Amino acid sequence: MYLFFLAQGLNFTQIATLEALYNLTTLLGEVPTGYVGDRVGRRNSLLVGTGLIAVTLLGIGLAESFLTLAGLYVCWSFGYNFRSGSEDAWLYDTLTDELSEREFAHVRGRGESVSLAVGAGAAIVGGYLGTIDLSYPWFVAAAVTGIGVLVLLTIEEPETYENADTGSLGLRDTLSIVRRTLSQRNLRAFILYYYVLYAAVTYLVFVFLQPIFETVVLDLGVSPGRVESLLGWFYAAYSLFGAALSYYTGAIRDQLGLRTWFIWLPFVVGAALVGMYFVPVFALPTFLLIRGLSDVTRSFAGQYVNDRTTTVGRATVLSAMAMISGLAVVPFQLGSGVLSDVVSPLFALAVAGAILMGGSVVILAWEVPVTESGSA
């Protein structure tokens, strides 16, 4: 993506501005688009979002100016806004129709596994397409996303949603539902624990993966000319490992339970981030580990929140969670950027790991963030 932007004549300030526009649109659009998903239907919201993303990807591949890309980035973010809350809401309500809502994490994990496995192959193919023309990956991505529109046309709204009283649902009513849900005793600590602390720290891992990978492999004696090709293969391994772990999401939940998983998770991840500062080569397996853990954890978090949310307002509540996470990551981004410039990205991630462990101790001392029972 960044090679494509540089080839269009953009500088790094303009690229950073595009990212800022995307994040700002996400923050402003999450709750309104979640409301749309609750008001007009999960499938309709998914159709709008997927169609918008497909057209946007095509437009980016054809774009030749910063202003055009800026407009497309806003559209791209809105597309994901329409999908973010409605995806999990549709799946959970569909499983509720079959009295199988407890299987949400299992089913979502299997779906994520397929997605990551396909992504591994796409990472390699996209790399080769980019050597021919940097626009080609965008065009292929647009075509594949467009197929998603056709798939969505074949699905129906869950009966659980259709039987719910959403016809008279106003925005004020929806916001009231979100406020009541987020103030639940069994959710407030979880929001801080996962959506604020853990999600923000692990986001930094994905941001700093490339520069740290380059530093580590060069220190191992790899020639600079081989870094990009090795990175492509590492991303493939990265996705495949996440796919393998996601496939067993349901089994992991049955063996460990959500409470045990979430209580130990931040300390395992935080210790790994601190450890790789002292042994840099440890960064490579740490990235793989965190990737796998993050996908499984995202499914578990969706299960936990959905279990404590009613059908009416579900998409908006899930979108609100995404907005909270987006807000929380901003100070982490700014702070890690300063630390990376002054010391190094490895040091910034080590500090983030220490904050993750310290913050988790404080939250656990205040209130245990996960209970095994208590559905809404």
Residues 6+ apart with CB under 8 A from 29: 77, 78, 81
What Å distances lie between residue 360 and 56, 189, 270, 337, 372, CA to CA?
A: 39, 10, 10, 23, 18
Calculate what percentage of the chain has a pLDDT beyond 90: 24
Q: What is the pLDDT of residues 302-358, one digit of tens each?
A: 888 877 776 666 666 766 777 777 777 777 777 877 787 788 889 989 999 999 999
d(CA 84, CA 74): 15
Q: Is residue 375 part of a domain?
A: no
Any idea what the CATH number is for the domain that residue 105 is in?
1.20.1250.20
Mean of pLDDT values over 101-105: 77
Q: Is residue 374 part of a domain?
A: no
Q: Is residue 47 part of a domain?
A: yes
**Closest Cα partner for 308 from 151, 186, 210?**
186
d(CA 14, CA 2): 11
Residue 284: pLDDT above 80? yes
> What backbone torsions phi and psi does residue 207 show, to the nearest 5 degrees?
-70, -45
d(CA 42, CA 164): 13
Rg (CA), the chain: 21
- Structural domains counted in the chain: 1
End-to-end CA distance of the chain: 42
Q: What is the pLDDT of residues 209-255, one digit of tens each?
A: 877 888 888 888 888 777 767 777 888 887 888 888 888 888 888 88
Question: pTM higher than 0.85 for the full model?
Answer: no
pLDDT value for 87: 79
Q: Please state the length of the chain.
A: 376
Residue 375: pLDDT above 70? no
**Closest Cα partner for 161 from 96, 101, 106?**
96
pLDDT value for 360: 93
CB atoms within 10 A of CB 121: 12
d(CA 141, CA 172): 37
Residue 31: pLDDT above 70? no
Residues 6+ apart with CB under 8 A from 164: 311, 312
Mean of pLDDT values over 290-306: 83
d(CA 67, CA 306): 39
Q: Is residue 373 part of a domain?
A: no
Considering only residues 66 and 339, tell me which one the structure prediction assigns the higher pLDDT. Answer: 66
Considering only residues 165 and 131, tell me which one the structure prediction assigns the higher pLDDT. Answer: 131
Q: Is residue 260 part of a domain?
A: yes
Helix axes 199-219 and 258-278, enclosed angle (nearest 10): 30
Phi-psi region of 200 (alpha: psi -120 to 50; beta: other; left: phi over 0): alpha
Question: Long-range CB contacts (< 8 A, 24+ apart) of 143-146?
Answer: 143/54, 145/50, 145/53, 145/54, 145/57, 146/51, 146/54
**Closest Cα partner for 285 from 227, 212, 341?**
212
Q: Do 296 and 116 touch, CB atoms closer than 8 A?
A: no
Q: Is residue 272 part of a domain?
A: yes
Q: Is residue 147 part of a domain?
A: yes
Which structural domain range is residue 324 located in? 2-366
Q: Is residue 120 part of a domain?
A: yes
pLDDT value for 376: 41
46: tokens are 């998914």
pLDDT value for 151: 93
